[in-house]
């Protein structure tokens, strides 16, 4: 079935290798990445001079860097008469291009209203992006509806990006942080907040806001100069992560591959490693109990694996993240800190992680979620706390949250510490 000349549009970043026939087709647009070598800057577009760039690389003592396109560039690319718009980006493990494309989508919708736009994190580069483009063209040429195309791409219907968000909060305060200040002068200062039972509390802010550092201090990974932490109504003296674990707190770190998984170990070992003491009797690990816990976790969290003996490094990013969640659930914590829980995960797996989070708060668990994706913060949080330069600068209830409000709090101070007017 032939499609109208502009019934769809596909936007890619310049890491994608578009076939020659696509380059001449108005339904395809490339948003260029930037390249920097010292003070030399160039766009990766038709003006790119490879010989000149390589010369600059050879002359410079600094390594070349890439810069992702701005959200505004993506927003401009979405301005089209096409009914369906798709953006395919370089892997979010390698670039901020995916986040820029998502922010561009939200900027477009805020200015022009709802439009059928879908952003795909390719989790690859170059030819990997190209294969996704070709698949989208194939599905569009079949004349399928937008929702069906997205469903085939991500493995589920796109009725909502996030699960239905009901309010499971109670009046019980499970975590109270008072005037927490880092031992380091340029880190978090005088931070106070509370977390309720059954709440998803989002933490927003720009890079350098010190959100991760604050949570690591609560979890015993960083030293504090002053302040107190109360957990379940009692003051907690947390000097190391084991103290936090003993106080019913778990933490999923931002760097899944670096500090989350044990790549050379199996799913069984990765799941049980933080809770072996619960299955150890007279110095001997009860393997049957461990196997039962792992099997239960694989079933409940829908971890896609042939066996618990499979090495975790062979799993997809989404399934690795589910194993890390399973590890902490084996400890049955009341509080779970999740730092960028869906970074580098495809859209279908993200939805599954979101559903797990909703299920946990239904059970009375409480979650702190750090996220740099504002749509995720707004879509998942009951309440959002925003940080800037180590300070808590604002708080927004979930139903009142907008990107403008969050950004106004996230940019309250300049880098020198002066308040923006």
Q: What is the DSSP string of 305-347?
A: -S-TTSBGGGS-HHHHHHHHHHHHHTT--SEEEEESTTTT--H
Geometric angle at alpha carbon 187, from 182 and 191, rounded to 5°: 60
The residue-averaged pLDDT of 58-63 equals 81
| pLDDT tens for each residue of 300-320 | 777 777 777 778 877 777 788
Closest C-alpha among 376, 139, 345, 366 to residue 257: 345
Neighbours of 242 (CB within 10 A): 11
The residue-averaged pLDDT of 87-103 equals 82
Higher pLDDT among residues 235 and 67, named by residue: 235
User: Is this model's pTM higher than 0.75 or not?
Assistant: no
Residue 344 has pLDDT above 80, yes or no: no
User: What confidence tier does 3 reach under pLDDT thresholds 50, 70, 90?
Assistant: very low
Q: Are strands 84-89 and 8-13 parallel, antiparallel or unpaired?
A: parallel
| pLDDT tens for each residue of 97-146 | 887 888 888 889 888 988 999 998 887 778 888 989 999 999 999 999 99
Asked whether the beta carbons of 84 and 116 are under 8 A apart, the reply is yes
Lowest-confidence pick of 49-53, 129-133, 336-340: 49-53
Closest C-alpha among 189, 156, 219, 144 to residue 370: 219
Q: Which residue has the tokens 């892997």?
A: 91
Residues in the chain: 421
Higher pLDDT among residues 30 and 400, named by residue: 30
Lowest-confidence pick of 14-23, 284-293, 395-404: 284-293
What whole-number distance in Å separates Cα of residue 96 and Cα of residue 151?
24
Asked whether the beta carbons of 36 and 57 are under 8 A apart, the reply is no
What whole-number distance in Å separates Cα of residue 225 and Cα of residue 335?
23
Lowest-confidence pick of 11-25, 59-73, 176-190: 59-73
Residue 1 has pLDDT above 50, yes or no: no
User: What confidence tier does 421 reach under pLDDT thresholds 50, 70, 90?
Assistant: low
Residue 158 has pLDDT above 50, yes or no: no
Asked whether the beta carbons of 351 and 163 are under 8 A apart, the reply is yes
Average pLDDT, the chain: 85
| pLDDT tens for each residue of 393-417 | 999 998 888 878 888 898 887 554 5
The residue-averaged pLDDT of 11-36 equals 91
Residue 269 has pLDDT above 80, yes or no: no
All structural domains of the chain? 8-33+68-154 (3.40.50.10440), 173-410 (3.40.50.300)
Please name the residue ranges forming H helices in 247-316. 267-272, 287-300
Token code pair at residue 420: 């923006």
Residue 390 has pLDDT above 50, yes or no: yes
What whole-number distance in Å separates Cα of residue 82 and Cα of residue 60?
44
Token code pair at residue 183: 């031992």
Q: What is the pLDDT of residue 95?
A: 74
What whole-number distance in Å separates Cα of residue 141 and Cα of residue 4?
9
CA distances from 155 to 98, 123, 352, 354 (A): 19, 16, 11, 15
Q: What is the pLDDT of residue 9?
A: 96
Residue 181 has pLDDT above 90, yes or no: yes
Strands annotated E in 80-220: 84-89, 116-121, 173-182, 191-196, 200-204
Lowest-confidence pick of 15-29, 69-83, 178-192, 346-360: 346-360
CA distances from 359 to 130, 146, 227, 346 (A): 37, 29, 32, 20
């Amino acid at each position: 079935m032939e499609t109208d000349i502009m019934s769809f549009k596909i936007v890619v970043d310049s890491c994608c290798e578009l076939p020659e026939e696509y380059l001449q087709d108005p339904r395809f647009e490339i948003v260029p990445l930037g390249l920097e070598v010292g003070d030399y800057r160039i766009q990766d577009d038709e003006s790119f001079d490879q010989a000149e760039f390589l010369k600059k690389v050879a002359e410079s003592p600094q390594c070349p860097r890439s810069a992702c396109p701005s959200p505004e560039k993506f927003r401009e690319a979405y301005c089209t008469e096409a009914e369906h718009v798709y953006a395919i980006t370089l892997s979010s493990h390698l670039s901020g291009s995916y986040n820029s494309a998502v922010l561009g989508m939200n900027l477009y919708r805020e200015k022009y209203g709802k439009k059928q736009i879908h952003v795909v994190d390719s989790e690859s580069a170059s030819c990997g992006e190209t294969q996704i483009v070709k698949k989208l063209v194939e599905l569009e040429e079949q004349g399928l509806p937008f929702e069906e195309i997205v469903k085939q791409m991500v493995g589920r219907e796109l009725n909502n990006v996030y699960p239905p968000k009901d309010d499971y909060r109670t009046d019980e305060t499970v975590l109270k942080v008072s005037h927490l200040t880092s031992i380091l002068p340029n880190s978090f200062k005088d931070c106070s907040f509370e977390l309720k039972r059954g709440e998803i509390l989002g933490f927003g802010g720009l890079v350098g806001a010190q959100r991760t550092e604050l949570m690591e201090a609560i979890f015993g990974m960083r030293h504090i100069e002053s302040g107190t932490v109360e957990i379940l109504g009692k003051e907690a003296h947390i000097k190391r992560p084991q103290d936090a674990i003993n106080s019913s707190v778990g933490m999923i770190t931002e760097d899944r591959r670096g500090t989350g998984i044990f790549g050379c170990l199996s799913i069984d070992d990765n799941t049980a490693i933080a809770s072996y003491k619960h299955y150890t009797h007279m110095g001997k690990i009860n393997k049957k109990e461990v196997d039962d816990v792992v099997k239960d976790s694989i079933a409940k969290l829908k971890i896609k694996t042939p066996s618990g003996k499979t090495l975790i490094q062979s799993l997809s990013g989404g399934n690795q993240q589910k194993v890390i969640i399973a590890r902490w659930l084996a400890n049955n914590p009341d509080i779970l800190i999740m730092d960028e829980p869906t970074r580098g995960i495809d859209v279908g797996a993200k939805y599954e992680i979101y559903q797990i989070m909703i299920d946990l708060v239904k059970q009375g668990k409480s979650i702190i979620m750090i996220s740099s994706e504002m749509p995720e913060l707004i879509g998942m949080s009951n309440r959002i706390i925003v940080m800037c330069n180590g300070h808590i600068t604002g708080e927004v209830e979930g139903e009142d949250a907008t990107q403008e409000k969050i950004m106004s709090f996230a940019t309250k101070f300049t880098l020198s510490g002066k308040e923006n007017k």
